[in-house]
Structure 1
Amino acid sequence: MTGHPDDSAGRSSGDSSGPSYDPAAEVVDICRDLIRIDTSNYGDQEGPGERKAAELVAALLDEVGIEARLIEGEPGRTNVVAQWGGRWGDPAGQRGGQQGGLLLHGHLDVVPAAAEDWQVHPFSGEVRDGFVWGRGAIDMKDFDAMLLSVVRARARAGAVPERPITLCFTADEEAGGHRGAERIVEEHPDELAHCTEAVGEVGGFSTQVRGRRLYLIEAAEKGMAWVRLTARGRAGHGSLLNRENAITALAAAVARIGTHEWPVRLTPTMRTLLATVAELAGTEATPDNSEALVEEFGEAARMIGAVLRNTLNPTMLQAGYKVNVIPTEATAHVDGRFLPGYEDEFWATFAELCGDDVSYEALSHQPPWETPYDGALVDSMTRALVAEDPDALVAPYLLSAGTDAKHFRTLGMRSYGFVPLRMPEDVDFSSLFHAVDERVPVDGLEFGARVLDRFLDQV
């Protein structure tokens, strides 16, 4: 329990009980301010970095008496860590019936945006048609803003959680988190020593299935393998016979990789999700009808469908320097994602698809993970959502991409993705990720802040 005497306290929904604060009061303004700070991550050292955004976050926390620490291993690649609530002096870190602390984490960097492609400038934070527009509005300055708005409101009202909370705003997530979450875990593990559970992106958003609003909580992630393929052959004149052409060998391997049909593999998380959908559809979930059930998600089926099986997508090709010269070497890059429990199958199949004439090396390799969808934290997330949206359904899902959770989980934390966001029925959440005209609904932001506030009542 926390400073709230009941589950309806302190909200902006018109009730009068409990502390007189609005957890959503600042969420739109903070989101706009964060979007206006360009934190584009190009995957190298050419971008602006996260320093200015980190300084804003630290100032917002310091203003309400929460001491923030800036951590950076490289100039400009800045993380923010703050401890809040609880009794951090307790050896066991046990408060309110919970064991250990809770990590709430979001990242400050964003993928680049080309302004000429957008209806509004991607770093304007403009409010238009009921949305806040800009790069990072969905991924994930919306959650950073929700968290800051709620924490600031509660700190001012004295509604401080009894459970120890670590607030973490990271750098470099969009390039694998090596300068952000990974650096904190490896060089500053003391900041996370009490944490046994973690909540971050990408989950808690709504989608539509058969006219029902279904909120998806991330309980698993695919593993990631970014791999470079190399074929070597015999250089020569383009007019001559050459049966050792590196480009030919590479192209054949890339074609096999890109067209391979992987079998459906249902993990525990996806079995639970598809059972929820099957109940709405009046059937039962099986591997044979899993793809049909995924189609119930409409446009979101692109994202949900990607976690029924392993995937391999060729993304880059490079070879040659003149049209009449056969080069010695050709290279390609492949983005591979594999399901929890199926990594061995992934690598064995990948090697077979490459064949004897193509070698490969993993440039980035991160493991998958899956957290059981049970326990007090899951119950708290569900209750918080249903309290704000009584007709809601809540279920887990498996994310096809990766988040900072991969790093934080190396310290043994149970992890979930929970950024509560109620989306309009005609807007697909997944289509806005890394997209032109990325935007977040204003009422969705405010909804998320209220849900997050209720969640903190129960952690």
Structure 2
Amino acid sequence: MKSVAEICSDLIRFDTTNPGSGERPAAEYVATLLEDAGIATEVFESAPRRTTVVARIDGDSPDALLIHGHLDVVPADPAEWRMHPFSGEITDGCVYGRGAVDMKGSCSMTLATVIGMAARGERPKRDLVLAFLADEEATGEYGSRHAVTEHRELFDGVTEAISESGGFSVPAGDERVYPVAVGERGTAWMKLTAHGVAGHGSRPAIDNPVATLVHALSRVATHEWPVRLTPAVKALIQSLSEITGSPIDLGRLDEEAERLGVLGTLFEGQIRNSANPTMLDAGYKVNVVPSTASAHVDGRYLPGLQEEFLATIDDLLGPKITREFVNLEDAPAAPYPSPFFDEMAAALLAEDPKARPVPYLMSGGTDAKSFARIGIEGYGFAPLMLRPDLDYFGMFHGKDERVPVAGLEFGTRVLTRLLQGN
């Protein structure tokens, strides 16, 4: 039986860059591993080579848990890496390559866990559904969205789900904080368009859409979004105050995040909405004022604040700018406190007595948004013990992405405890 590090290395060697040639080779590898372990799979495509694998394992209760992960990765330039990003090389105690953290490492932990349980003849305490999905690094249109609409029956009985971006260790003195995500910010990717009057660049402009757009983008980029504390973030801040023994001043959260260092990163991007201009497109010749100019903005909003966010955006843009959504996804939130959160915390503590599990809100987004559409409550829980010198957030979409072998082995043990209920 392959080790979790070997599975992770194998998955990384499949170049599943999105956009690219698709996830099919990695999906076929996953399906083969599961089938060889006696676990039946459903393999389907939303478009050529955009492949997803789903499997169900019977447990002692029909109340099912979903573990989902994505097989696609963002692009990587080999010239910027110490070693080739799709080598899957195992060295210095780490597995290197694009997707090691986001999120082929997590997928490998899921696979190693269920394959190990099957080899030992162990059943999970509840039915288990596994989904290895395409297209998470875009909109999920070819992956999770397709799965929940065209293959809804595969998720019957599922009440809760776990996936990426939670359960990783953060050093806190003699202890380790493990943030478990109980929600995430919503997504509002927007295309903005300004219309004006075309003319010669040497003449006084009548209505220059480039200038109109640039002024609007400046207002968006410099807007100071107010702090809005969700219940999850309030609970996180209270927990961090107790763990550090130093009260966190709610009136100075930006300064407090800087003071706390890596612990502060757990809430610095989750205390307010945000909107970042990311793309510009205008004109075709230096001496021509164009009739239109456009831009894209990456907007993120906290749970329950979609209307407030969009109203603010419209005020900042002004009447001359029109907007359309490239992608609009709600901000899902799972119950906290909850019995299932306690189960995840107990599994962490069983493997790491110095663990301090805390609730956490993700600043970005995952496929949990799609599963929330069909009533599945999603948690970010891909348990991983990290070395203190590794910048977890910096490795997402970053250079020299890598994951510790010992961390993967730790995560496999935690997942096994969670699924067995001990």
| TM-score grouping bracket, smaller chain normalisation | over 0.9
* Deviation per residue, 1:192-249 (Å, 9 max, x gap): 0110111111100111234531001011110001101111111111111114111110
Deviation, structure 1 residue 299: 4.3
Cα 1:50–1:56 shift into 2, 3 Å: same
TM-score (norm: length of structure 2): 0.97
Q: Where does residue 142 of structure 2 map in the other structure?
A: 179
Q: Where does residue 60 of structure 1 map in the other structure?
A: 33
The letter for the 1-side match of 2:47 is E
Cα 1:306–1:291 shift into 2, 3 Å: same
Deviation, structure 1 residue 285: 4.4
Q: Where does residue 224 of structure 1 map in the other structure?
A: 187
Secondary structure of 2:137's aligned partner: helix
Q: Where does residue 29 of structure 1 map in the other structure?
A: 6
Cα 1:190–1:297 shift into 2, 3 Å: farther
Q: How many equivalent pairs are there?
A: 422
Q: Kindly indicate whether residue 178 of structure 2 is the aligned counterpart of residue 215 of structure 1.
A: yes
The letter for the 1-side match of 2:57 is W
* Deviation per residue, 1:38-64 (Å, 9 max, x gap): 11112xxxx121111111111101111
Provide the rounded CA distance (Å) in 2 between the counterparts of 1:123 and 1:300: 31
Q: Where does residue 314 of structure 1 map in the other structure?
A: 277
Match among 66, 74, 81 for residue 103 of structure 1? 66
Secondary structure of 2:366's aligned partner: coil
Q: Kindly indicate whether residue 80 of structure 2 is the aligned counterpart of residue 117 of structure 1.
A: yes
Q: Where does residue 209 of structure 2 map in the other structure?
A: 246
Contact preservation (8 Å) 1:303, 1:400: no
The letter for the 1-side match of 2:178 is Y
The letter for the 1-side match of 2:7 is I
Deviation, structure 1 residue 334: 0.2
1:3-402 equivalence runs, <5 A? 26-42=3-19, 47-86=20-59, 95=61, 100-285=63-248, 287-299=250-262, 301-302=264-265, 304-402=267-365
Provide the rounded CA distance (Å) in 2 between the counterparts of 1:266 and 1:156: 46
* Deviation per residue, 1:122-142 (Å, 9 max, x gap): 000011221110000000001
Identity rate, percent: 47
Provide the rounded CA distance (Å) in 2 between the counterparts of 1:439 and 1:216: 20
Deviation, structure 1 residue 347: 0.5
Secondary structure of 1:337's aligned partner: strand
The letter for the 1-side match of 2:237 is L
Provide the rounded CA distance (Å) in 2 between the counterparts of 1:77 and 1:406: 19
* Deviation per residue, 1:54-99 (Å, 9 max, x gap): 1111110111110111011211000001110226xxxxxxx2xxx7
* Deviation per residue, 1:141-185 (Å, 9 max, x gap): 011101111111110111111311111110111112111111110
* Deviation per residue, 1:373-415 (Å, 9 max, x gap): 2222211111111111101111011111110100111111121
Contact preservation (8 Å) 2:208, 2:289: yes
Contact preservation (8 Å) 2:18, 2:74: yes
Secondary structure of 1:359's aligned partner: strand
Q: Where does residue 18 of structure 1 map in the other structure?
A: none
Where do 5+ consecutive residues of structure 1 fail to align?
Answer: 1-21, 88-94
Where do 5+ consecutive residues of structure 2 fail to align?
Answer: none
Provide the rounded CA distance (Å) in 2 between the counterparts of 1:146 and 1:34: 12
Provide the rounded CA distance (Å) in 1 between the counterparts of 2:129 and 2:379: 15
Deviation, structure 1 residue 320: 0.9
Contact preservation (8 Å) 1:274, 1:293: no
The letter for the 2-side match of 1:48 is S
Q: Where does residue 411 of structure 1 map in the other structure?
A: 374
The letter for the 1-side match of 2:66 is L
Deviation, structure 1 residue 281: 3.8
Provide the rounded CA distance (Å) in 2 between the counterparts of 1:277 and 1:217: 13
The letter for the 1-side match of 2:93 is G
The letter for the 2-side match of 1:457 is Q
Provide the rounded CA distance (Å) in 2 between the counterparts of 1:304 and 1:330: 35
CA RMSD, 1 decimal: 1.6
Contact preservation (8 Å) 1:277, 1:293: no
Secondary structure of 2:228's aligned partner: coil
Secondary structure of 1:264's aligned partner: coil
The letter for the 2-side match of 1:33 is D
- Tell me which moved more, 182-191 or 279-288: 279-288
Secondary structure of 2:109's aligned partner: helix
Q: Kindly indicate whether residue 417 of structure 2 is the aligned counterpart of residue 454 of structure 1.
A: yes
